[in-house]
A and B are shown apart, each in its own frame.
Chain A
Amino acid sequence: MRAAASRVLPMTTTPIAAKYETVIGLEVHVQLLTERKMFCGCNAAYADAVPNTHVCPVCMALPGVLPVINRKAVEYTVMAALALNCEIPQFSKFDRKNYPYPDLLKGYQISQYDLPLSQGGWLEIEVEGHEPRRVGIERCHLEEDTARLTHRTDAAGESHSLIDMNRSGVPLMEIVSAPDMRSPEEAREYLVKLRQILRYIGVSKANMEEGNFRCDANISLRPAGASEYGAKVEVKNMNSFRAVYHALQHEVVRQTAELDAGHRIPQETRGWVEADGRTVSQRSKEQAHDYRYFPEPDLPPVTLAPADVDAIRARLPELPDAKMRRFEGEYGLTRYEANLLCESRARADYYEAAVAPAGAGADDASRRYAKQVANWMLGDFARLLNAAGSDIADARVAPADLHALIALIEDGTISGKIAKSVFEAMFDSGKPPATVIDELGLSQISAADEISGIVDAVIARNEKPVADYRAGKQEALKFLVGQAMRETRGRANPATLTEILKAKLDAKA
């Protein structure tokens, strides 16, 4: 399992860590996008629901109820595990994790202890300026979410804790990394990459701010070159990737100072206090729970035959790294471009649809716009989306219309400059480029006679520059082209216009 983290390169992105090596492992919990809860038939999508409306006897933990495994959640976990290069054992089971807390309605959480659905995978990350590295994935298992507690103080000043059971029993996947990260930068990169993969395969919204992607970090320092790990500090309460990054940076600084001062770092759990930008001690090792795990007697073991796993593997979409490499090769994109275009599956899908719209065939001819589509998507399109604060998935411009727009530039119907205005109009209205051009009267004048008339008029009105050109002054030609372009309000194809102008000037010489 550990062989996964084969290429451990020294990282010194946080200068202060030079004397000590930072060791980070991350535990990520993500809610799965299944229709139903983990062990009952309740709707799992509770985001906008009135509290305690997505409930039934099972997820309310009434006396006598029993859980039934949601096969979809198992499938999603296996999908994620396969995407993280994990092994899927044939035999897996659920266990009870016992601890008392009012948000844990049964008094135990159904989780997985020694035989998780998957283990032993890896995830490749790349911090800018460094070689890509593999971070080991120790396990990827399935459990259930707890209810949500909110604490309120009423008008009389009395405090109440309210329970919303809508979240109780929502499928939760836990992904535990190996302690393979060596800097807060790597931790952040790991999270970004993990989120990207989970969204690609569509098993989770993976949104940390919404609470459906949660991260706890284990961080320790050890003298550079040491082989044993230092005392592990678990950091909780981080609500964004930024918070994880800052909390870990803070811990590196704090633990370094402690070690420099000759203090021992106690094994403990600390909470990140966003407002203060620091972590505070919450629980020492001695106060740690004994979860008294034991096999869940209400659920038979989960058996997954190799054929079941293969069937799930076959449904996996192309993953970001593979897609990126393909984009580089197939479309001649730079790594930078491919990386940006593959950031989300929606963007990558859009790109491919715009390069080769349905019905256009997959031949070379249809892919000749690969570079232009990339330029548009990473240029004007990205700028407009950014300004509108929206996502490509919601863009009104159809991929085929972007393709059509580029075709209109290529065949000289409009100039590249005009195309920018056309695209803006398309972005706002969602209309195809031909309609926009028609409505705005922006089609390029390419007919030679129309241009010819304009050129004649320009020659007639500009005796001096014409004479200058004929005397051999090339700058005069530029001036005349500019004048003619102004006459057409930019709608003439500059190449055609220059050609006609030159022919007329040379002929009369």
Chain B
Amino acid sequence: MPDLTDLTVHAAAGLLAKREVSSRELTQAALDRIAAVDDRVKAFVTVTGERALAQADAADKRLAAGERGPLLGVPVALKDVLSTAGVPTTCSSRMLEHFVPPYDATVVRRLAEAGAVSVGKTNMDEFAMGSSTENSAFFTTRNPWDLERVPGGSSGGSAAAVAAREATYALGSDTGGSIRQPAALCGVVGMKPTYGRVSRYGLVAFASSLDQIGPFTRDVRDCATVLNAISGHDPGDATSAPVDTPDFAAGIDAGARGLRVGVPREYMPPTLDAGVRRCIEDALRAFEAQGATVDLDLTLPSTEAALAVYYIIAPSEASANLARYDGVKYGFSWQRGESMWENMEETRGRGFGAEVKRRIMIGTYALSSGYYDAYYLKAQKVRTVIRREFDAAFERCDVIVSPVTPTPAFKIGEKADDPYAMYLNDVFTLPVNIAGLPGISVPAGFVDGLPVGLQIIGKPFDEATVLRAARAFEQTADWHMRAPALTA
């Protein structure tokens, strides 16, 4: 019997299908693993052991009845930004510390229908604002490869949970790199689908025009499998695209022959960490060895502007999205004030952490009368320019390849007092959100024992090609099969 916590989704599904292992055994193994390592990793905000075992038993019944499914009975961890009926959904914020939603997010419902077993809710930067989980109001998640380092963020808990073998796969959300960056820093596969591919209904909003839900998995095939389950038009999300969902797993083994790989000059700056650069260059050679062509002369001139665009649009939308947390209806509520207004102000002052407040203030300012044109409107115009530059780049290539982050995982506390240094961590990932494109991070090597991620970006709704390229690359090495020493 293999180590049940080390299985991929398809390996687990295979064993379940053959009835060689039960969902209860898989689930119990995950819960045992959480009990064994999570006091060090701190990936979970809430572990739903009893619920998980009940779901596992239900899955076993379905399996016994002859039903088969790629996710049926397989344990998953959910970022605590996804609404789960009857299970606290905190967004790692004091504001929602005790909030229990009455409804399931569409992706949660889809996973439940597929028979997934949810073992718990994972830690994150508060309201998904951050790149390290240090902005969690509760605790910082540790990088399983080095417990002194951050796992990345904002979906750091989900990435760490998969890397530390606490769940077979996980869901996260990505607004500016919040899936790809922690996936890279934790050495797992993480994908942000095209904006509109996956319903956002029930994803607690940070920046509505940028947010997208996606999977964390151990390999690319699992990623395609999970994407199959969560994709598709949702009448409850007006921004979810009315497009068909192809079988993403179907063509992933087609190889990289003939694939046109483009590398934007702006994504390989001189400041790039030497170790990271080496990993990316190795990856490009691997693509060429597989019969792909590599174009190193691609250019996305407005890359530098993307950070500014992002830090206007995302906080602007957030300033409105977070206005509902006023202590009146649900969540944290300060009630010791003299007046209603005082209570509302104190609720927000005490309920939100520093980074959330910083972004609400930036957004409120950017939208203010007299500044709107200079900031928000200008940012939207540059956003269009960035989109067009990607369009032009995709005339010359099928996928764009780049590093995910400029450096491997940094130390906890290293950038905590320098928001701008922290924001720079996302320079290669957030243009992808601005343009609404699909992007994946796949393990591409190690620097001083720390994982490095390779980003592969595709055309809108062309996840299939991204996954095929990622799968082709993944098979040239065994980076994705390595587990942190924690598990040794």
B-binding residues in A (CB < 8 A)? 57, 60-69, 96, 98, 100, 102, 105-108, 161, 163, 290, 292-294, 297-300
A64 to B208, CA, bound (A): 10
Interface members, chain B 274-332 (any A CB < 8 Å): 316-317, 319-320, 322-324, 326, 328-330
A102 to B13, CA, bound (A): 49
B105 interface residue (CB < 8 Å to A):
yes
Flag if A69 contacts B323 (CB, 8 Å). no
Flag if B89 contacts A63 (CB, 8 Å). yes
Closest 9 CB pairs of A and B: A107-B323, A297-B208, A292-B367, A297-B209, A63-B204, A64-B83, A64-B204, A64-B202, A290-B369
Pick from A107, A161, A297, A299: contact of B326, CB below 8 A. A107
Can you list 5 A-B pairs, Cβ within 8 angstroms, ordered by A? A68-B236, A98-B320, A163-B328, A294-B316, A294-B320
With both beta carbons as reference points, the residue of chain B lying nearest to A165 in the complex is identified as B329
Which has the most chain B C-beta neighbours within 10 Å: A67, A107, A108? A107
* Residues of chain A contacted by B91 (CB below 8 angstroms): 63
CB distance from B287 to the nearest CB of A (A): 36
Which has the most chain B C-beta neighbours within 10 Å: A65, A98, A100? A65
Q: If A63-B99, A66-B200, A107-B320 touch, does A299 touch B238 (CB 8 Å cutoff)?
A: yes
Interface residues of chain A: helix, strand, loop or mixed (majority)? loop
Q: If A64-B203, A100-B344 touch, does A57 touch B102 (CB 8 Å cutoff)?
A: yes
A298 to B202, CA, bound (A): 13
CB distance from B354 to the nearest CB of A (A): 20
Flag if A100 contacts B320 (CB, 8 Å). no
CB distance from B359 to the nearest CB of A (A): 15
Flag if B368 contacts A290 (CB, 8 Å). yes
CB distance from A70 to the nearest CB of B (A): 11
Measured as residues with beta carbon below 8 angstroms from the partner, the interface class of chain B is 35 or more
Q: If A107-B324, A294-B376, A297-B208 touch, does A64 touch B96 (CB 8 Å cutoff)?
A: no
* Residues of chain B contacted by A61 (CB below 8 angstroms): 324, 329
A-binding residues in B (CB < 8 A)? 81-83, 89, 91, 96, 99, 101-103, 105, 200-205, 207-209, 235-239, 316-317, 319-320, 322-324, 326, 328-330, 340, 344, 364, 367-369, 372, 376
Flag if A298 contacts B208 (CB, 8 Å). yes
With both beta carbons as reference points, the residue of chain B lying nearest to A68 in the complex is identified as B238
Flag if B323 contacts A98 (CB, 8 Å). yes
A484 to B237, CA, bound (A): 83
Flag if B368 contacts A292 (CB, 8 Å). yes
Flag if A67 contacts B238 (CB, 8 Å). yes
A358 to B320, CA, bound (A): 57
* Residues of chain B contacted by A98 (CB below 8 angstroms): 319-320, 323, 367
Flag if A65 contacts B202 (CB, 8 Å). yes
Pick from B207, B235, B324, B326: contact of A63, CB below 8 A. B324
Flag if B323 contacts A294 (CB, 8 Å). no
Q: If A62-B102, A64-B101 touch, does A300 touch B239 (CB 8 Å cutoff)?
A: yes
Flag if A68 contacts B235 (CB, 8 Å). yes
* Residues of chain B contacted by A62 (CB below 8 angstroms): 83, 101-103, 330
A57 to B109, CA, bound (A): 15
* Residues of chain B contacted by A102 (CB below 8 angstroms): 326, 328, 340, 344
* Residues of chain B contacted by A108 (CB below 8 angstroms): 320, 323
* Residues of chain A contacted by B324 (CB below 8 angstroms): 61, 63, 105-107
A98 to B321, CA, bound (A): 10
* Residues of chain A contacted by B82 (CB below 8 angstroms): 64
CB distance from B252 to the nearest CB of A (A): 31
* Residues of chain A contacted by B96 (CB below 8 angstroms): 63
Flag if A66 contacts B101 (CB, 8 Å). no
* Residues of chain A contacted by B238 (CB below 8 angstroms): 66-69, 298-300
* Residues of chain A contacted by B364 (CB below 8 angstroms): 292
A107 to B82, CA, bound (A): 21
CB distance from B139 to the nearest CB of A (A): 21
